[in-house]
Every structure is written in C-alpha cells, then in structure tokens.
Amino acid sequence: MRNFRIPKSLAWFPLILALSLTGVFAKPVEPTGAEIAAVAVPTLTPTDRQVALDKTIAELLSQHHYRQSKLDDRLSALILANYLDDLDFGRAYFLASDVAGFEKYRNTLDDALKKGDLQPAYDIFNVYLRRLAERTARIQALLQQDFRFDVNESLDVNRKNAPWAKTSAELDDFWRKRLKHELLTLLLSGKDRAAARELLVKRYDNRLRQAQQTASGDVFQLYMNAVAQAFDPHTAYFSPRNTENFNIQMRLSLEGIGCVLRMEEEMVTVVELVAGGPADLSHQIKAGDRIVAVAQGDSEPWVDVVGWRLDDVVERIRGQRGTVVRLKVLPGKAGATAAEKTIRLVRDTIKLEKQAAKSDIKTLRGPDGRELRIGVITIPAFYSDFEAARRRDPNYRSTTRDVRRLLGELNGRVDGLVLDLRENGGGSLQEAVDLTGLFIGEGPVVQVRDASGGVEVEQDSEPSRAYDGPLAVLVDHASASASEIFAGAIQDYGRGLVVGDPTFGKGTVQTLVDLNRLTRAKDPQGQLKLTIAKFYRVSGSSTQHRGVRPDIAIPSAVDDEEVGESAQKNALPWDEIAAARYRGDRGILALAPELARRHQARVGGDPDYQAFLHDLEFTRQQRDKTTVSLLESQRRLERERVETWQRERENRYRVAKDLPPLKVGDEIPEGKDSAIPDMALEESARIVADLIVLSGSGNALVMSR
C-alpha cells in the first residue's frame, strides 16, 4: 500500500450531465407537444451482468470499507441524495413532483442493493432523460428568439441548495436567464450574436445526441459511484473504460497535457495538474479552470465540448507527444463572470525528471543586518521510478534521492532552508517516510490504522540527518496526502516550522480491487477504488479532514472553503489514536510566539505584502461571486474593472524591475512570465532568517548519510 498515487479530491461524476449554461429572451415560445414527443430518448434497463456486479460491489463496500457502514436506511438516503445531485446538480431539469416521486426509494435502496435490484436507479435515470429531452426542446425554441441585454436583471449561478422547481414555468424563467448569461459571456469573449447563438444551438443539439446514445453501462457507472461516495469521497467505481484512463494516469505515462479532469458543477473542470506535465509547466491553466472547447494543432477548428461525456473529452485532449492541442477555458479564479481564454499546449510524456525537486538560493538581510542565504527546495510531488528501482538501477530517480543530492549541492552555501510543498498533491508513501528521515534521523514518521483497529507504524531507520539547520515547510490548501505526512512529522518532531495555509486534509488510504479477478468474469468488469485505512501523525492526531495547521499563517489563493477534504460529501471525520514513541525537540515551539510576532510586525508595514493581501481578497471576491448581472453595460464595466486590476497589479512590479508597463489591450502575463513576486515564498525565507537569529544558527550544517 505504499506506492500509490491518488489524485486529491478525485470524484467521478456522471458522463451525461446538464450544461452549466444560462439564458434570456423577450417572450417565450413553447415547443409543441409533437415537437417534444419527437425527441426520442432510450428507456434503459440493467443487464444480468450488472445485477451480479452490483451485489459484489455492495458486499465489498459493506465488509471492507474503512468506515464499516451497514447497508441501512441511513445509507440509502445518502445514496439517493448523491444520485440526484450527480444527475441534476443545478436543479435545472427535475421538477419537485419528480423528486417527490423518488421519495419511495429513500429507505429502500439499501435493500435493493443487497438483492441486486438496480431497477430503481434506472427508473430515476429514465425520468431524467425524459426531462432533459423536454427541456432541450424548450431551450431550442428559446434560442430562436430575440435577446435583449439592456434589461437590469441578475442570475444566481449557485443552485446546489436551490429548491426544486414546482412548475415548468419556474424552470422556463430560470432557463431564460441561463441562456442570456451564456450568450452574454460569449459576446464578451468576442463572438457576434449570430455566432454565439449558433454555438449554443449546436451545443444543445450535441448534448441531446449524447443523451440519446446513453447506454446501460453509463447508468451503472453513475449509480455505483453514488453508492460508493455514500461511504467516502475517495471510494469510486471505475467502468472498464475509466479503469484504462485511471491506470494510464497512475503510470504517469500519459502522452497529453497532464491534467486530472472531472465533471464538476456540470462542466469539465481541471481538478489537479500533474507535476511536470505540459499544463503545469505552462503556468497558464490552474485547478478549477473549466474547459469549454478543444482544437487540434494550430489550425484545426474548435470543437465545443460542453455537455460531452467526460471520457470523450479526455480522448480529445490526449494525443501523441509533440503535437499541439489548444484549449478554451473559463478561469476558475474569475468566478461566474469569467471570460474565455485560449491556451496552446504541446503534448508530452510526463516524465519524472520534469517532476523533479529543484533548488534556489535567496539572499536577504537578516533582522540583525547581516547577509543571510536561504536555500529553497521546491518539491512538486512524492515520486519514484519504481520500475528502475526494481531493475536495481543505481541511478533511479526519487524525491528523496533528488533532495539529498540538492542538499549536498547547498552544503556550506546556505544558512537556512525552505521546503516548498505548495500544490503538492502527494504520491508515494514510502517517499514521504524516506524524505522525512533526511531531516529527523531515525524514528517513526506516520501511523496507519486499518478498519479492524490495527496500527502499523512506518519508520525511518537511518540514524543520521542529511540536513540539521533551520527549516521551514511552506504548504497551502492544495498540499495533500504524502505532503501532509511529511509536514506533520516535521511539526511533531519540532524539526522545523510549518508556514502557509492549512493543508488539504486527505488522510485516507485507498486500494484498487480488480473486479475481473474477484468475479472471474471473462468480459471487463472494471475496478473499485476502496478506502481501507487512515493516516495518523506520530502525535496520534489524524491528518484527515483538518489537515496540518501551520505554525505561522500565510494565506494563498487556494484557501477556498469549497476546496479540501472538509468540503467533500461524506468525508471521514478527524480523530486521534495513541501517540507513537518518538523524541521531539521543543526548542522551535518555544520560539514560535516571537517568530509570529516578528512576522506580523514585518508584514504590517510591508507595502508589497499588503498589496499581496489585497490581491488575494480581490481574487476571492471574484471567485466567490455567484450572482451575475445580465445587463451588458454592467458586465462590460465589471470586465474592465478586473482587467484594470490585473494590469495595475502587474505594472506595480514591472516598474520596480525597470520593465515597460503594460498598456490597455496588452496581454497580461501569468506564471513565470509575470513580474509579480512570490510573496508567500519571500516571507517564508524571512521567517527562516528570524529563526536563524533567534536560535543562534548560521552556516547550517549539512551532513552526508
């Protein structure tokens, strides 16, 4: 169970979903009954193979999941809620009367699972397909009308807790606004009215065609995930096709752009960037961005992918190494008013050397006036070339080996060290243990508790340290799993300071169950990803749900309450077990209050840091905005306000670096091309400088192992 890599907050939502579009016109025109009746959708039923597999999965979940939940009425209610959310997250298709009709299943789905009775799931899905077909006919009628953008009205795009519409008229008004919002977004992105209307007509036609092609296996995949996620958010059923995609991702051999995607709030959304992949290295695409169109090469036409099956979108993005793929994305940080931007990426094989840890040295003046050199080692993932290690290749790559080498290169050149684990989603457990050993020496690193209550302690057996000097570990809300094990151990041992945001809070262990091997079936059955254990720090505290709390807080742009384990449905709770036997150092703990006081005093008078806080707050406001104006003049003002803020923000630092300022209309650079400093990293280095002075350290000792 050591060498697994589970993408954080991985959740597989339905392959057929409602579109996240919004609309308006002057006067509704109803499609006729004949027009609606002409839109045929299949009536789907389960197969004998799915009935048998349903009972197998139900047995595995009830007997082997860490939670050991019984298949009872409580679980039945969770399954129903999950299933309806996955089908109609935006409350845009079902009527309240439909949902009331589903109430008969609230306390019976558990009994149906035990018997292999899938008919309730298919009955609910068939109602969804009919409602989708009916609504699509109405939408296409709406799209033929004239649209006005001089009416002062607004739309709440966050409908996850909205009541179900009581009548079709209520949904008509909602869809009127949804379509208006979507058309206005396209207009502000540069399309004319005719092109925008044509795009939406094609988009909805395509969505209906996708629905008409839905197969029985699609319903089974969707429903089994609703069942699995009633246990916890990291348990999932993978159909044979999705098993192939998942295994490719696990091997990190995907020739593509290096993104983990899922259907989230009805759109194809970037969940995670694979460290060292083309998307990660481009600094142009971020977790939370939504992909709306894909094009091949530099000249092929755009293909709108809103409403597509997730696996079909993945296949369009994947391709041969060296080829170009272009994406149109709506930046997640810009919230509901985001404008499309175009990204060009060259596909590549994701290699360990592109994930590799790297080092830098920052020189600054310490609080006592002397010059201090702070080493920075950035660790994008906990990786290991397992195949090369099995071949006994003496030069195989791993996080621990690369960091040990970098420490050797920094030997005698630095006074302190920052380890940057921001956006590090985890990886190999063994690497987390071994890397911790470079800094603590011999001792326990993490405890793993299984469903029966048995606890295994993962130990580092090397008595010496590779680095013995002042240390800070920089984390954020996207630091997960193995990152949390490492940061928690450094904090518990008192070996260094943890600074930044609270971490993600993924403290669970998953295993993959090959359903073909289990059922001895000849045709493909897929896999079940099953949560079987939890991680605990050597102090006995779980990393689950709460994450690792920093000693000194430095905020980041990813501190979204919707991100992290605590925001996931049915997440396992935080708890504690007995502490392991270990020897910690309380020296840094005693210095923490003074270090925090100096940090606050410094950043309170630092204009760059205050600008950094202001920028974070502005970004949060844009991201969290769920009500959007449907008045074109207002939306243009809002767009100009955001662009002005971005340009002025960039120019503050371009002027300081003697770079020409951006003018109106210039493209605003991002990532490595931006002049904006990394204030979280800069302040982390200053905190280490304070630690050096307060502890009397300097010219930190770097020892060989």
Domain identity same for 299 and 277: yes
Average pLDDT of the residues of the chain: 87
Structural domain contains residue 450: yes
pLDDT, average across residues 531-549: 97
Same domain, 401 and 373: yes
Q: In this structure, are 167 and 297 located in the same domain?
A: no
Strand partners, 508: 534
The domain boundary, picked from 174, 206, 234, lies at: 234
- Burial label for 627, CB within 10 Å (0-12, 13-18, 19+), is exposed
Same domain, 264 and 317: yes
- We report the CATH number of the domain holding residue 309 as 2.30.42.10
Determine phi and psi for 419, rounding to 5 degrees. Answer: -100, 120
Q: What is the set of active-site residues?
A: 481, 492, 506
Residue 318 to residue 342: CA distance in whole angstroms: 17
Same domain, 401 and 517: yes
Residues 414 and 364 in one domain: yes
Decide if pLDDT at 307 tops 90: no
Nearest-10 crossing angle of helices 607-624, 632-656: 160
The alpha carbon of residue 633 and the mean position of all alpha carbons in its chain are separated, in whole angstroms, by: 34
Average pLDDT over residues 584-588: 90
Q: Residue holding tokens 């009916």?
A: 134
Two structure tokens written together for 594: 């003074």
Using DSSP bridges, classify how beta strands 471-475 and 497-500 pair: parallel, antiparallel or unpaired.
parallel
If one counts the domains in the chain, the total is 3
Looking at per-residue pLDDT, the higher value among 703 and 291 belongs to: 291
Q: For residue 213, tell me if it sits in a domain.
A: yes
Q: Is the pLDDT of residue 551 over 80?
A: yes
Considering only CA atoms, which of 217, 192, 182, 220 is closest in space to residue 307? 182
Domain-ending residue, one of 586, 617, 651: 586
Q: What is the mean pLDDT of residues 510-539?
A: 91
Q: Is the Cβ–Cβ distance between 47 and 521 less than 8 Å?
A: no
Do 378 and 389 share a structural domain?
Answer: yes
Beta-carbon contacts of 34 under 8 Å, excluding residues fewer than 6 positions away, are: none
Name the one residue in this structure whose structure tokens are 């950043």: 603
Q: Grade residue 352 by pLDDT with cuts at 50, 70 and 90.
A: low
pTM, to two decimals? 0.87
In a domain, 658, yes or no: no
Q: Residues 428-446, buried b or exposed e (16+ Cβ, 10 A)?
A: bbbbbbbbbbbbbbebbbb
For residue 542, CA distances in Å to 510, 531, 546, 702 come to 16, 15, 8, 31
Q: Establish if 464 belongs to a structural domain.
A: yes
Q: Extract the tokens encoding 217.
A: 């296996």
139 and 184 belong to one structural domain: yes
Maximum mean pLDDT: which of 24-28, 380-384, 543-547:
543-547
Residue with the bigger pLDDT between 463 and 311: it is: 463
Q: Quickly state the pLDDT bin for 16 (edges 50, 70, 90).
A: very low
Same domain, residue pair 365 and 343: no
Q: Is the pLDDT of residue 29 over 60?
A: no
Short-list 591, 357, 355, CA closest to 471: 591
**Cβ density class 389-412: b for 16+ within 10 Å, e for less:** eeeeeeebbbbbbbbbebbeebbe
Q: How confident is the model at residue 28 (pLDDT cuts 50, 70, 90)?
A: very low
| Residues 489 and 481 sit within 8 Å (Cβ to Cβ) | no
Q: Residue 661 domain-assigned? A: no
Alpha-carbon distance values, 563 to 287, 291, 627 (Å):
10, 19, 20
Is residue 193 situated within a structural domain?
A: yes
Task: Please state, for a pLDDT cut of 90, what percent of the chain lies above it.
Answer: 64
Q: Is residue 702 pLDDT above 50, yes or no?
A: no
**Residue 444 falls inside a structural domain:** yes
Does 537 reside within a domain?
Answer: yes
Q: Is residue 144 located within the same domain as residue 224?
A: yes
Q: What is the mean pLDDT of residues 78-104?
A: 96
Residues near 16 by beta carbon (within 8 Å), at least 6 away in sequence: 210, 211, 214, 218, 222, 309
Shared-domain flag, residues 196 and 293: no
Give the per-residue pLDDT at 700: 44
CA distance 239 to 219: 11
The C-alpha atoms of residue 241 and residue 217 are separated, in whole angstroms, by 10
Mean pLDDT of all residues in 481-507: 97
- pLDDT tens per residue, range 219-266: 999 999 999 999 999 999 988 877 766 555 544 444 578 887 887 766
Q: What are phi and psi of 106, to 5 degrees?
A: -55, -40
Radius of gyration of the chain (CA): 27
- Which has the closest alpha carbon to 539: 574, 570, 510, 565? 574
Calculate mean pLDDT across residues 595-610: 96
| 52 and 132 housed in the same domain | yes
- Report the pLDDT value the prediction gives residue 310, as an integer from 0 to 100: 81
Q: Give the helix, strand, coil percentages of the chain, each rounded to 5.
A: 40, 15, 40
Q: Residue 401 in contact with residue 430, Cβ under 8 Å? A: no
Domain boundary among 568, 586, 604: 586
pLDDT score of 440 more than 80: yes
- Structural domain boundaries enclosing 299: 253-349
